[in-house]
């Protein structure tokens, strides 16, 4: 991309050792330089390159689905990803969970004065890579800078639009008694990976965040079973929160089989050491699918055939239950409730 | 305040500390409260401190007891 | 996970369940109290009660040091944290415990107090080292499992001259609590407790050994079986308790031999004795004033005693009158007997000790027991 005439002559941004300062959000030349050098350079696409404030595009025919999410994860860099890649995966997945084919994303940044540009480069290039892999384009954005101490390094908001193909109706209220519940892989990876980098918990592990885009997997799943009832990604609050939400929305009960839920040994151990229940730990590359029982085998096969579903498993079923309890048959053969937690799960010492 | 877990000592560190390992997860704990433990031993860990050495012979005996109890029933 | 998974074997669980069914007399009810919060958690987490016959009732005891911390001590923690410059370090379990007027450390933090959750008291020492110009207070709670680490920290702080570090000591003693339950004194009134035996704490016993429990078998004629934390440990202990009751014995038995020895951890005991002394009396939530039941820091370490360093004047706390925690902690009432259980007292809005920690009898019942009751009701319908 050739440099704008107005920017010629200005000192190039020091992306290796420089820091964000207030001028980068002020709307003047400094901000234009940041946007051009960093954001346009990495996100480059036809729509963005027109440099309008608002992105102009057409969508294929069909119902439009739109979603937004804001990312405040700490630490910004964690094993398996960073806030940038997470911000793309998160919104792409929200659209995919509605059965949508994601097309376009926007990205809004709130940068803290003093934030290292080298870190910003890593975050932005991770976003670009994530967008490429998911087949979406980042077509519009915004940058603001807040004073030192008023932000956590960087906050990112992404919003996305996609199109839901005809015949696909996925909704949290559609789970029916008799339906089967599936998950595409191991649970608890993201939460544990992030926690391993938090100062006061310090433990070493090779667990990586599972942060990834799921739209490709969902497309294959809908091809195999267009009549999927519910899709949802168990992010904050983990599997437990998500299933409780769905049970309430659909007015049903759920029974899980503990032995069938895939959890990696390292995640199990980390949770034991910290006094955490993996069912309540966040995931960023997993989905729950609920489908009619006679379609379960097909759906499982389609999931396992996809690289992002190789460890897919059937983990439970939907029941008639006006109290909307989520319960689980434990590894020991007893039953326990999987309750909806009031707030955040805190590590247990007791 | 009892949540404690048996974990294997994999390395000794300075200042009475050690690395324990549980299925690939490594954590540093203090050995201030136990004597005579080293790499390969299992210890019971609570809030970052080893409280006791796990006795493998007793563990085996207890498991055998479970199995035999069941048979006698 | 070695030494963990084997003790969760479902096949062995079934065989132990059959043995218990075969040996529990059909003519009576057995009431066993699991003293320790960790056992309450294990029973709930694995659904152990589903594997036990109806005639065996597990009563949740007060072995949750968070649950028994009185309102006034929670108020003190909040006050310490809201003083200027104090960094208050605490285990996560304490964050949501309600003090007076439903305030809590979590809420105080939201108001700007510098409250930090730590996994280990070592973290608190590190925070003190990294912040030499700030006062750092470690709010110490727990039974004898958790007390030795605090003792180590005080020893280190003294050796280093870590002047900005202090400990607010709320450590409590297991045998005293058991005595209070069995003796059943609340404000001078003796209460009736019907218990057939105790599942003894796992890791408290790893520290204090088995000797301290002999007074209960001797003076109260109640059997005690010290149990490990895994579900098979608990079931084996229940079986041993059933046998003792059937045979009219009241002995201390140790199921957790892989970690508990008769003498316990002598090094830890000696260190605790060097650092702490017994308080004449301590107020327990739900049990009232219990003599010789808690620890305070010895005079030679007064420099690190937060109770001496900070003069705090607090209003007299009020506990909710409708709260039945006292009776529930003693095993006299069940959670559903409490008038405010479920409304307004819930895990989200806990009014008393038993609802605060997930091991508390009421919280455990809310999470797991409601479902079981509903199932039973359905079965009868």
Q: Which of residues 19-58 of B touch C (CB under 8 A)?
A: 22-23, 30, 32-35, 42, 44, 46-49, 51-52, 54-56, 58
Record: contact C143-B3, CB cut-off 8 A: no
Q: Compute the distance between CA of residue C234 and CA of residue A139 in angstroms, rounded to an integer.
A: 59
The CA distances from residue C263 to B26, B37, C205, C209, C212, in Å, are 30, 18, 9, 5, 10
Beta-strand relationship, A81-82 and C189-190: unpaired
- Reported as a single tens digit per residue, the pLDDT across A246-289 is 999 999 999 999 999 999 999 999 998 888 899 999 999 999 99
- Which two tokens mark C94? 């304490």
Domains by residue range for chain B, with CATH: 5-72 (2.30.30.140)
Q: Identify the residue whose tokens are 């809908």.
A: A222
| Domain edges within chain A | 11-164, 180-337
- The C-alpha of C312 sits at a distance from chain A's nearest C-alpha, in angstroms, of 28
| ipTM of this complex | 0.94
Determine the pLDDT at residue C188. 45
Reading chain C (381 residues) residue by residue, the pLDDT tens digits are 899 999 999 999 999 999 999 999 999 999 999 988 889 888 988 999 999 999 999 988 776 787 778 888 888 999 998 876 799 999 888 888 878 777 889 899 999 999 998 888 999 999 999 999 999 999 999 999 999 999 999 999 999 999 999 999 999 999 988 887 777 544 444 445 678 999 999 999 999 999 999 988 888 888 999 999 999 999 999 999 999 999 999 999 999 999 999 999 999 999 999 999 999 988 887 677 889 999 999 999 999 999 999 987 676 666 677 888 777 876 778 888 999 998 888 887 777 777 877 667 888 788 766 767 777 777 777
Q: Does domain A180-337 have CATH number 3.90.650.10?
A: yes
Report residue A1's pLDDT band, with 50, 70 and 90 as the boundaries. very low
Of A268, A273, A349, the CB nearest to B1: A349
Interchain contact, C38 vs B35, CB within 8 Å: no
What burial class does residue C57 get, using C-beta atoms within 10 Å of its C-beta: 0-12 exposed, 13-18 middle, 19+ buried? Answer: middle
Closest CA to B70 of A333, C22, C247: C22
The token duo for A81 is 């990803």
* Sign of the alpha-carbon torsion through A33, A35, A39, A40: negative
pLDDT tens for each residue of A294-307 = 999 999 999 999 99
Inspect the interface and report whether the beta carbons of B1 and C146 lie closer than 8 Å: yes
Q: Residue C65 contacts by C-beta under 8 Å, 6 or more apart in sequence?
A: A350, B1, C37, C141, C142, C143, C146, C170, C171, C172
Lowest-confidence pick of A129-133, A270-274, A329-333? A270-274
pLDDT, residue A27, reads 82
- Is residue A12 pLDDT above 50, yes or no? yes
User: CA gyration radius for chain B?
Assistant: 14
Q: Which of left, alpha, beta for C221 (phi over 0: left; psi -120 to 50: alpha)? A: left
Any B CB within 8 A of C266 CB = no
**DSSP characters for C34-82?**
EEEHHHHHHHHHHTGGGGS-TTEEEEEEEE-TTTTS-HHHHHHHHHHHH
CA distance C355 to C351: 7
pLDDT tens-digit profile of B18-73?
Answer: 999 988 889 999 999 999 999 999 999 998 999 999 999 999 999 999 998 866 54
**What confidence tier does A346 reach under pLDDT thresholds 50, 70, 90?**
low
Which chain B residues are closer than 8 Å to C15 by Cβ? 66-67, 69-71, 73
Q: What's the first-to-final CA gap in chain B, in angstroms?
A: 35
Could you state, in order of their start, the residue ranges of all structural domains in chain C?
Answer: 1-320, 325-380
pLDDT tens digits for range C58-88: 988 776 787 778 888 888 999 998 876 799 9
Distance between CA atoms of residues A129 and A118, nearest Å: 17
**Nearest CA-CA partner of C310 in C173, C207, C167, C194:** C167
For chain A, where are the alpha helices, taking DSSP H only? Answer: 29-34, 41-43, 46-49, 83-97, 117-134, 189-195, 215-224, 238-250, 265-274, 296-304
Q: What confidence tens digit (pLDDT) does each residue in A158-215 have?
A: 999 999 999 899 999 999 999 999 999 999 999 999 988 875 666 788 899 999 999 9
Q: Are A349 and C96 in contact (CB < 8 Å)?
A: no
Q: Please check whether residue A117 is in contact with residue A252, taking contact to mean a CB–CB distance below 8 angstroms.
A: no
Q: Which residues of A are less than 8 Å from B25 in CB distance? A: 203-205, 207, 266, 269-270, 273
- Strand ranges (DSSP E) for chain A? 63-71, 77-78, 81-82, 101-112, 137-146, 154-164, 180-183, 230-232, 253-257, 288-291, 313-319, 326-329, 335-337
Assess contact for C257 and C202: CB atoms under 8 A.
Answer: no
Is the separation of the CB atoms in C80 and A337 below 8 Å? no
Strands (DSSP E) found in chain C: 30-36, 56-63, 86-90, 115-117, 135-142, 165-171, 185-186, 189-190, 197-200, 224-226, 252-254, 276-278, 281-284, 288-291, 295-297
- The Cα–Cα gap between A267 and B25 comes to 8
CATH class of the structural domain C1-320: alpha beta
Range with the poorest average pLDDT among A52-61, A135-144, A239-248: A52-61
User: Among residues C122, C126, C69, which one has the least CA distance to residue C95?
Assistant: C69
Tell me which residue of A117, A150, A133 sits closest to A17, measured CA to CA.
Answer: A117
Please answer whether residues C295 and C279 qualify as being in contact, where contact means their C-beta atoms are separated by less than 8 angstroms: yes
Residue C41 CA to residue B6 CA, distance in Å, equals: 17
DSSP secondary structure, C326-375, as one string: HHHHTTSS-GGGSTTBTTTB-SSS--SHHHHSTTSHHHHIIIIIHHHHHH
Among left, alpha and beta (phi > 0; psi -120 to 50; other), residue A138 is beta
**pLDDT at residue number C189:** 44
Question: What pLDDT score was predicted for residue B1?
Answer: 40
How is residue C262 written in tokens? 């008769």
Which of the four CATH numbers 3.30.1330.10, 1.10.510.10, 1.10.3720.10, 3.50.50.60 does domain A11-164 have? 3.30.1330.10
pLDDT band at A109 (very low <50, low <70, confident <90, very high): very high
Q: Do B25 and A269 touch (CB under 8 A)?
A: yes
């Amino acid at each position: 991309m050739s440099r704008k005439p107005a920017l010629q002559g200005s000192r190039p941004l020091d992306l290796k050792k420089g820091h964000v300062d207030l001028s980068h959000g002020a709307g003047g030349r400094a901000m234009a330089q940041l946007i051009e050098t960093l954001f346009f350079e990495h996100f480059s696409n036809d729509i963005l390159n027109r440099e309008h404030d608002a992105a102009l595009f057409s969508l294929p025919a069909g119902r439009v689905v739109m979603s937004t999410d804001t990312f405040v994860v700490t630490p910004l860099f964690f094993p398996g990803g960073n806030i940038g890649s997470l911000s793309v995966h998160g919104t792409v997945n929200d659209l995919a969970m509605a059965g949508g084919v994601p097309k376009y994303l926007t990205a809004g940044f709130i940068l803290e004065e003093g934030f290292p540009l080298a870190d910003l480069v890593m975050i932005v290039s991770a976003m670009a890579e994530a967008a490429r892999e998911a087949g979406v384009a980042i077509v519009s954005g915004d940058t603001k800078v807040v004073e030192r101490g008023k932000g956590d390094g960087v906050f990112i908001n992404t919003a996305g639009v996609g199109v839901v193909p005809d015949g696909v109706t996925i909704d949290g209220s559609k789970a029916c008694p008799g339906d089967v519940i599936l998950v595409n892989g191991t649970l608890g990876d993201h939460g544990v990976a992030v926690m391993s980098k938090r100062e006061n918990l310090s433990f070493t592990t090779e667990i990586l965040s599972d942060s990834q885009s799921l739209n490709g997997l969902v497309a294959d799943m809908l091809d195999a079973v267009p009549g999927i009832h519910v899709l949802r990604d168990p992010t904050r609050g983990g599997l437990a929160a998500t299933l409780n939400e769905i049970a309430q929305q659909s007015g049903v009960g759920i029974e899980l089989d503990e032995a069938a839920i895939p959890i990696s040994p390292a995640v199990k151990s980390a949770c034991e050491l910290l006094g955490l229940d993996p069912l309540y730990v966040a995931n960023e590359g997993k989905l729950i699918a609920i489908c009619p029982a006679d379609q379960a085998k097909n759906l499982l096969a389609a999931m396992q055939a996809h690289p992002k579903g190789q460890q897919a498993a059937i983990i439970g079923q939907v029941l008639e239950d006006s109290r909307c309890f989520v319960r689980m048959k434990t590894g020991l053969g007893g039953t326990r409730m999987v309750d909806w937690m009031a707030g955040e799960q805190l590590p247990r010492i007791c | 305040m009892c949540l404690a877990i048996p974990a294997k000592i994999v390395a000794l560190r300075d200042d009475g500390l050690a690395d324990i390992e549980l299925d690939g997860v490594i954590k540093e704990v203090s050995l201030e409260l136990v004597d005579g433990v080293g790499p390969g031993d299992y210890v019971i860990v609570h809030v970052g401190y080893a409280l006791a050495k796990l006795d493998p012979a007793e563990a085996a005996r207890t498991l055998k007891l479970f199995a035999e109890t069941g048979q006698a029933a | 996970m070695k030494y963990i998974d084997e003790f969760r074997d479902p096949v062995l669980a079934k065989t132990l369940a059959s043995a218990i069914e075969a040996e529990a007399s059909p003519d009576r009810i057995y009431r066993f109290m699991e003293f320790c919060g960790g056992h309450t958690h294990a029973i709930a987490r694995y659904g152990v009660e589903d594997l036990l016959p109806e005639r065996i009732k597990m009563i949740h005891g007060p072995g949750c040091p968070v649950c028994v911390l009185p309102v006034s001590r929670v108020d003190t923690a909040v006050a310490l944290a809201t003083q200027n410059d104090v960094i208050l370090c605490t285990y996560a379990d304490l964050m949501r415990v309600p003090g007076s007027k439903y305030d809590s450390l979590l809420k105080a933090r939201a108001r700007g107090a510098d409250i930090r959750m730590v996994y280990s008291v070592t973290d608190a020492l590190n925070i003190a080292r990294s912040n030499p110009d700030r006062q750092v207070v470690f709010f110490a709670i727990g039974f004898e499992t958790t007390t030795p680490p605090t003792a180590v920290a005080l020893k280190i702080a003294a050796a280093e001259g870590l002047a900005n570090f202090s400990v607010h000591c709320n450590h409590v003693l297991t045998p005293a609590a058991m005595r209070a339950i069995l003796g059943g004194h609340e404000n001078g009134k003796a209460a009736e407790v019907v218990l057939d035996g105790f599942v003894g704490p796992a890791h408290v016993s790893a520290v204090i050994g088995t000797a301290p429990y002999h007074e209960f078998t001797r003076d109260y004629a109640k059997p005690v079986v010290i149990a490990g934390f895994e579900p098979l440990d608990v079931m084996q202990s229940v079986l041993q308790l059933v046998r003792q009751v059937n045979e009219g014995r009241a002995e201390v038995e140790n199921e957790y031999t892989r970690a508990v020895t008769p003498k316990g951890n002598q090094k830890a005991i000696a260190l605790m004795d060097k650092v702490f002394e017994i308080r004449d009396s301590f107020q327990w939530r739900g049990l009232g004033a219990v003599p010789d039941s808690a620890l305070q820091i010895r005079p030679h370490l007064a420099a690190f005693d937060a109770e001496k360093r900070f003069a705090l004047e607090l209003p007299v706390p009020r506990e909710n009158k409708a709260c039945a925690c006292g009776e529930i902690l003693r095993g006299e009432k069940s959670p559903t007997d409490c008038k405010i259980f479920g409304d307004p007292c819930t895990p989200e809005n806990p009014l008393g000790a038993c609802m605060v920690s997930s091991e508390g009898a009421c919280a455990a019942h809310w999470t797991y027991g409601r479902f079981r009751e509903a199932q039973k009701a359905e079965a009868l319908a």
